[in-house]
């Protein structure tokens, strides 16, 4: 038999899974089942990546031994596979002895070849993705993937000569879809590989939970060297099974493309092993944000499978999301596809056909041929073409086009009115079409496929059986069973709306006289998110469309600097300049959360200083006045109190200083994902009209309302 090896990425068992994990497993399972349908012997692996600092710390926090901790969570991932009918051949945990043996074997080979050397590593490290980054990789000082704080590491390390294999790697990636798919991701990789590759640190000194280096047992192997090796461990490298099935196909998310297409492949080049294909799927987003365990953005796939069935969830994921691109999850859309396509189109076709066969034929398959009105619109090769192009969503669309044609055929022929040979011809055409449909659906919704075959009282066929007139006459049809019960639409729960408390704002008359202007508002019942893709797009477009150098030269900016000068404060750096500098460096406005991003967008465009606070954390009312110098002020991102200059003006409540001058914000009242009610202000000066700052406030409020919801109330300033 022809051999085919396919794998998912192995999951990090630091916490329970989410829908994104389910999606990767479902789509990989579909590709594996498709190959089996086409006569391949398939080896399909999945599993868990069990070592590293994040696991070590998570186990400590849970008060458990790391092995016990990863065993428990790995069992959850096995349960997920069982629930979703994932037909894996092998589930590997990287704590298994067979895996440790292969890791040590390949490290020894690389060391003997001279591709590993000793040195010292000093740099920045993200615990959540167990990856070392350079300064330019970071986004506003945070991990580009998890948006979490990075750690600075300095320690003894061993390095793999990754740079040695850059030229060979580039030549491989340029070959096309057989190296990395889709083309967009391949182009991104090639663009990044225009820069010289750095050698790879492959050990950790301060992480005990890992596989010790075979040549220095005081250090453990980095997670990515350990984890990536799983793909050959499962094939019993370097023995017979490995020779039969390798090279394979890795199905991964786009956040780990560098690890699989650069780190893994350069290691394989060094080992003289042929290179696998890397297929990159997109993310599932909820309200514009990528699902993430680390960031707490989670949808439980088992809950959905139990509520709607595993096949409904599989069908939705495969049909709704264009493979290789990001997609959005919506329970409403899942229900619509379940009701309209699975229950109405497919389920009704089976029920109507079997009921009519029972009434007209006594439940026995007649001796007839398939009507050309059904065989003609059927396009087997088109379905195969879509699957070869990795477009399961289009393959399903084509299958359901044929299901729709079958339903039209029933309506056109009205078999309930026919008798004799006429009704036999019509019903045989439908029964044989259902046999073909059951085969076509097998990779996508396997349980449904089996149910259809069982009701036809036949064994499920393979790709060679996808041709008409193979249903044998005389078969007694099985017992009818409803494939999918229709689901009632979700009743929208009324959300409890908590009104924001009343708050007043006063400005010191001396500051008013110096030209300080203020517009304030409260937005109640907002839903703050880390990120919204639509907002991210607008931010990028805004940065591209404005002249960042001219922003700093605006009269409004000079107005702030003049104000600082008049009150005797030496201050030539301000909030807008900070935004401009960050935008110049990264090509985008910093991503904080949807409230802050909404006003930063306007701030950089208009040159205005804007501030926002969690209203519920403000004590009493807000006063804009001169500092006394003894107030409590803890700057954003710190825990230490900072002394104030009595010449400065501050925004303060009854307990703390909220902001100094140009939004040097306090830690106490920062806006987070838990914030429900926001206090917001736009600060103007002698060079801005009241109308200018009011228009800016309207623009900000429109952004927040669009991306966070909420009810707006503009405040009077006294």
Dist CA 452 CA 461 (whole Å): 12
Its sign, for the CA torsion 510, 516, 519, 520, is: negative
Q: b/e string for 241-252 if b means 16 or more Cβ within 10 A?
A: ebeebbebbbbb
- Which residue is catalytic, options 51, 81, 100, 126? 126
Residue of 268, 224, 265, 274 lying closest to 245 (CA atoms): 274
Which of the following is catalytic: 50, 129, 406, 520? 129
The H or E element that residue 473 is part of is none
Active-site residue flag, 281: no
293 is catalytic: yes
Which residue from 29, 37, 49 is spatially nearest to 130, judged by alpha carbons?
49
Q: Is residue 393 flagged as an active site residue? A: no
3-class secondary structure per residue, 475-524: CECCCCCCCCCCCCCCCCCCCCCCCCCCCCEEECHHHHHCCCEEEEEEEE
Could you give the 3-state DSSP secondary structure of residue 158? strand
Long-range CB contacts for residues 508-512, cutoff 8 Å, separation at least 24: 508/623, 508/624, 508/625, 508/626, 508/649, 510/626, 511/624, 511/625, 511/626, 511/649
Question: Which of these is catalytic: 147, 172, 259, 290?
Answer: 290
Q: Which entry of 21, 259, 260, 613 is annotated as an active-site residue?
A: 21
Q: Chain centroid to CA 395: how far? A: 23
Q: Which residues contact 75 (CB under 8 A, 6 or more apart)?
A: none
Bridge partners, 156 (sequence order):
120
Contact 364/477 with Cβ under 8 angstroms?
yes
- What are the residues facing 659 on neighbouring strands? 651, 665
Q: Output phi, psi for 147, to 5 deg.
A: 60, 30
Burial of residue 571 (CB within 10 Å: 0-12, 13-18, 19+) is middle
C-alpha angle 604/594/667, rounded to 5°? 85
Q: Which of 193, 168, 234, 203 is nearest to 8 (CA)?
A: 234
188, burial (CB in 10 Å: exposed 0-12, middle 13-18, buried 19+)? middle
Q: Whole-angstrom Cα distance, residue 569 to residue 171?
A: 59
Q: Which of 146, 250, 393, 606 is catalytic?
A: 146
Q: Which residues contact 693 (CB under 8 A, 6 or more apart)?
A: 517, 518, 519, 608, 682, 683, 684
- What's the CA gap between 541 and 412, in Å, rounded? 52
Does the annotation count 143 as an active-site position?
A: yes
Neighbours of 485 (CB within 10 A): 11
Given the residues 35, 54, 293, 652, select the one marked as catalytic: 293
Judge whether 129 counts as a catalytic residue.
Answer: yes
109 is catalytic: no
Q: Which of 18, 25, 250, 617 is an active site residue?
A: 18
Nearest residue to 26 via CA among 312, 314, 294 = 314
| Helix ranges restricted to H, 113-254 | 166-173, 183-192, 223-228, 230-233, 240-245
Tokens representing residue 386 in the block:
């879509």
**708 among known catalytic residues:** no
End-to-end CA distance of the chain: 83
Q: From the candidates 50, 81, 143, 406, which is the catalytic residue?
A: 143
Give catalytic residue positions.
18, 21, 126, 129, 143, 146, 290, 293
């Amino acid at each position: 038999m022809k051999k085919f090896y396919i794998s998912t990425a192995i999951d990090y068992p630091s916490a329970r899974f989410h829908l994104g994990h389910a999606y990767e497993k479902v789509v990989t399972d579909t590709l594996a089942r498709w190959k089996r349908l086409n006569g391949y012997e398939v080896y399909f692996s999945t599993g868990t990546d069990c070592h590293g600092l994040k696991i070590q710390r998570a186990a400590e926090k849970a008060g458990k031994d790391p092995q016990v901790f990863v065993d428990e969570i790995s069992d959850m991932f096995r349960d997920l596979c069982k629930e979703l009918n994932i037909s894996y051949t092998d589930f590997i945990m990287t704590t298994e002895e067979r895996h440790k043996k292969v890791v040590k074997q390949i490290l020894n080979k690389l060391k003997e070849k001279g591709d590993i050397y000793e040195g010292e590593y000093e740099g920045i490290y993200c615990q959540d993705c167990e990856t070392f980054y350079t300064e330019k990789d970071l986004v506003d000082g945070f991990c580009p993937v998890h948006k979490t704080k990075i750690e600075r590491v300095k320690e003894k390390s061993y390095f793999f000569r990754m740079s040695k294999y850059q030229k060979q790697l580039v030549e491989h990636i340029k070959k096309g879809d057989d190296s990395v798919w889709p083309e967009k991701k391949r182009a991104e990789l090639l663009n990044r590989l225009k820069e010289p590759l750095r050698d790879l640190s492959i050990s950790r000194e301060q992480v005990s939970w890992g596989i010790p280096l075979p040549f220095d047992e005081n250090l453990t192997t980095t997670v990515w060297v350990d984890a990536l090796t799983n793909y050959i461990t499962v094939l019993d490298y370097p023995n017979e099974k490995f020779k039969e099935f390798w090279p394979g196909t890795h199905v991964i998310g786009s956040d780990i493309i560098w690890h699989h297409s650069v780190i893994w492949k350069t290691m394989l080049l060094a080992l003289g092993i042929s290179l696998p294909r890397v297929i990159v799927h997109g993310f599932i987003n909820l309200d514009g944000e990528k699902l993430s365990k680390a960031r707490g953005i989670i949808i439980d796939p088992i809950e959905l499978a139990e509520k709607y069935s595993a096949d409904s969830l599989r069908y939705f994921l495969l049909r709704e999301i264009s493979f290789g691109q990001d997609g959005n999850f919506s329970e409403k859309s899942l229900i619509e596809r379940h009701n309209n396509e699975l229950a109405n189109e497919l389920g009704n076709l089976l029920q109507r056909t079997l009921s009519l066969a029972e009434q007209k034929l006594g439940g026995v398959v007649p001796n007839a041929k398939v009507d050309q009105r059904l065989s003609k619109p059927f396009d087997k090769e088109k379905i195969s073409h879509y699957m070869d192009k990795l477009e399961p969503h289009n393959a399903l669309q084509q299958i359901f086009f044929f299901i729709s044609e079958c339903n039209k055929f029933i309506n056109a022929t009205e078999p309930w009115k026919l008798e004799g040979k006429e009704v036999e011809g019509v019903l045989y055409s439908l029964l044989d079409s259902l046999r073909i449909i059951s085969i076509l659906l097998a990779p996508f919704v396997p349980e449904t496929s089996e149910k259809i075959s069982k009701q036809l009282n036949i064994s499920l066929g393979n790709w060679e059986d996808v041709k008409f007139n193979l249903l044998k006459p005389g078969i007694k049809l099985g017992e009818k069973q409803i494939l999918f019960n229709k689901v009632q639409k979700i009743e929208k729960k009324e959300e409890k709306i908590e009104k924001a408390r009343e708050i007043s704002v006063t400005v010191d008359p001396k500051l008013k006289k110096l030209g300080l202007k203020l517009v304030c508002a409260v937005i109640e019942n907002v839903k703050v998110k880390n990120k919204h893709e639509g907002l991210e797009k607008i931010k990028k477009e805004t940065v591209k469309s404005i002249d960042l150098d001219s922003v700093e030269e605006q009269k409004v900016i000079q107005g702030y600097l003049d104000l600082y000068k008049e009150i005797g404060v030496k201050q030539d750096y301000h909030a807008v300049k900070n935004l401009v500098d960050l935008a110049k460096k990264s090509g985008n406005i910093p991503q904080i959360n949807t409230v802050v991003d909404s006003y930063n967008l306007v701030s950089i465009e208009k040159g205005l200083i804007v501030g926002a606070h969690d209203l519920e954390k403000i004590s009493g009312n807000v006063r804009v006045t001169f500092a006394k110098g003894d107030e409590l002020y803890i700057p954003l991102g710190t825990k230490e109190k900072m002394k104030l200059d009595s010449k400065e003006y501050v925004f303060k409540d009854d307990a703390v200083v909220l902001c100094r001058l140009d939004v040097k914000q306090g830690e106490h009242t920062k806006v987070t994902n838990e914030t429900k009610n926001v206090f917001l202000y736009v600060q103007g000066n002698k060079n801005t009209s009241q109308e200018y700052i009011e228009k800016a406030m309207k623009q900000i409020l429109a952004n927040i309302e669009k991306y966070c919801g909420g009810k707006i109330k503009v405040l009077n300033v006294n």
